[in-house]
Chain A
């Protein structure tokens, strides 16, 4: 299918998981490589905010915190209206690899149905659209 629902990247870094974990989950770490400023309340349901000097701001909702293996959050889909409820889910997985870390990032949920398509699909098939949605929606429903 041509519509990219998920982005997957794996990189090997020459640093132990604890150091990578700190870069991903602390305000100091995030502001050093991701945003220009960062705040984070590191617990499921906590919020984080990244700010770039060009004025962009990202509001993250922390979803998974399993130190030092898994860190997950959801955020708004860039380009959609501010009040659009759709969000993508980003999950970092850290795995020891020799003296370093294999870091995997998966961002999923780009191919969620918009609201009116939900309605259309629902009207046409009472089995519902939920079963057809990607794992992000299932994940959010379960939360």
Chain B
């Protein structure tokens, strides 16, 4: 297994563990690229603190710095590491135990439940997690 994939996922989870960095990432995700000054106007933290977190996020490859208007540095969310973290979460969320339990019920003919029960269970923990 490539060692870097775990390092990438770890950096995402470290970034998301801090509420300020979560707020910065959420703001870039919803509002698009922004400067440290833009972000300071949107979030209840100083521009200085934001700059420090942005530097850390850039170092981790979670945001990229680009030239904005009036020679201001603008930060853009980088989605590739998020997709690696999603792979990790997908593995954790894949519910084969639920699916195999449903298979056993089906084979044992215990699956003859009312249709409403089956529909109610779909994707809600009782059955397999949809891919």
Contacts and interface: CB of A to CB of B under 8 A. Distances in A.
Interface string A88-127: 0000000000000001010100111111110011000000
A32 interface: yes
Interface string B82-116: 01101111111110110110111111100100000
A133 interface: yes
A7 interface: yes
Contact of A9 (B97, B123, B130): B97
Contact of A58 (B1, B119, B130): B130
Interface string A69-96: 0000001111111001010000000000
A4 B9 CA distance: 11
A2 B6 contact: yes
B69 interface: no
A79 B92 CA distance: 12
Instruction: Tell me which of B2, B106, B131 has the highest count of chain A C-beta atoms within 10 A of its own C-beta.
Output: B131
B33 interface: no
B72 interface: no
B94 A107 contact: yes
B8 interface: yes
Nearest to A75: B131
Given A77-B87, A111-B1, A4 B103 contact: no
Nearest to A77: B90
A120 to B, nearest CB: 8
B131 A3 contact: no
Size category of the A interface is: 35 or more
A22 B105 CA distance: 15
Given A33-B106, A36-B119, A76-B131, A5 B1 contact: yes
A53 B122 contact: yes
A117 B5 contact: yes
A19 B106 CA distance: 11
Interface of B: 1-6, 8-9, 80, 83-84, 86-94, 96-97, 99-100, 102-108, 111, 118-119, 122-124, 127-131
Interface of A: 1-5, 7, 9, 11, 13-15, 19-20, 23-24, 29, 32-34, 36, 50, 52-54, 56-58, 75-81, 84, 86, 103, 105, 107, 110-117, 120-121, 129, 132-134
